[in-house]
Amino acid sequence: MTIGFASRAAVSTCALCTVGLLALTPAATTAGTRTGPAPSYGSGARATVKPRAAGPAAPDSLLYRSGTQVRPRAGAPEVPELSARSWLVADADSGEVLAAHDAHRRLPPASTLKTLFALTVLPVLPSGVLHTVSEEELTGIGPGSSRVGVAEDLTYRVSDLWNGVFLSSGNDAVRVLASLNGGWEVTAERMQAKARALGAHDTRVTSPDGYDDPGQVSSAFDLAVFGRAGLHRPDFVRYCSREEAMFPGRDGTSYGIRNTNRLLTGSDGVERYPGIVGIKNGYTSGAGHTLVAAARRDGHTLLVTVLNPRWGGGNAVYEEARTLLDWGFYASGRVDAVGSLDALRAKPLPGPQARPATTPAPAAVPAARDHGPGRPVPWTIVGAALLGAAGVALFLRLRWGPTVPD
């Protein structure tokens, strides 16, 4: 068989293409593994954003230091001296912590832990649901617990029980709501998971009502995180700011209950704080007096946590919270943040509605396993080579007709 010049040229060209493509395979394999950092491209390419420098110490690290932390500017008021073992004042809108004392010190929270209980259970139980309480649901309430007066065989709305939790700090109401939420242990586990999701890593939940229990702790930081999260829920705000309510009794009667947060109600020798929103107070013999409080002034909301004042009696927790709120409203704009309530919050996973703002450098992986766009892989090149060979065969078939077996 004789092949003409044109045919020989075509065959030679196809063969050279095939050989060239095969020759690229080792180079592609080598280029697929990146052992160093991603190269830096021009301004038109995405780059990983470097964290902003924060001076001598990153602000959030200050919250892990012992003692009082504040970063005053010129003209800032002096931080008050308080007797609380731990305290914190933060901007509830931005999450910036204006000042703190032993913010991450782990201490018993008492009933301020009911803020986390509410954040966990409020979204699950519609307020209008009716429930008849059983005897079993009221078992296990700790001796000396505060109660609102929940009675077995009586039917309550879920909203009634929440009034009992927020106003009377009723551990009996917590027991019933926890039962509706799946049980005592299940509720504790869900509260723990909620705390982690909010970035509250100091909290250990063993008793959802806040009753003293071995190993149960929280911190001024974590409780401020819970309080701030509650301010984003209208139902939480409605309950925590309510001063009085009627609670169902037997025989179709009802009786009045009053919020035990004296900074909200202005009672028992404590003046009501101007602009107070409320939130939650607590007391146990192990925790002492505890309080998470929020107040609003001129469109600006501050949040304070005060844990276990060492002197001043039962009203000290309210008066020290008042002092912190006064200081915070005056100091706002005159101090730099010492941290953020968002610092430890779990970041949402990327998805259709949430895309990362920056593109991190890809990890080094073998080229044979990397099938990403824009990066040739050996099997792709081999396929191209085979396609080139097929082109040669097709050309010969069209030029000389079908091949007949010998």
Chain center to CA of 52 = 22
Helices (H) and strands (E) in the chain, counts: 11, 12
Annotated catalytic sites, by residue?
111, 114, 169
Q: How many CB atoms lie within 10 A of CB 165?
A: 26
β-partners of residue 144 are: none
Q: What angle do CA 192, 198, 200 make, to 5 degrees?
A: 65
Q: Which tokens is 29 given?
A: 């394999």
Residue in the block written with tokens 């901007």? 91
86 forms bridges with which residues in the sheet?
A: 307
Dmax (CA) of the chain: 116
Q: Which amino acid is at 181?
A: N
Handedness of CA 143, 145, 151, 152 (dihedral sign): negative
- C-alpha dist (Å) from residue 51 to 48, 54, 70, 110, 366: 9, 9, 22, 38, 30
Give the DSSP letter string of 207-258.
-TT----TT-BB-HHHHHHHHHHHTT-HHHHHHHT--EEEEE-GGG-EEEEE
Note every long-range contact of 244-250, with CB atoms under 8 Å and residues 24 or more positions apart, other chains counting.
Answer: 244/167, 245/163, 245/167, 247/148, 247/149, 247/160, 247/163, 247/164, 247/168, 248/154, 248/155, 248/156, 248/160, 249/149, 249/151, 250/151, 250/154
Q: Which of 262, 147, 164 is nearest to 211 (CA)?
A: 147
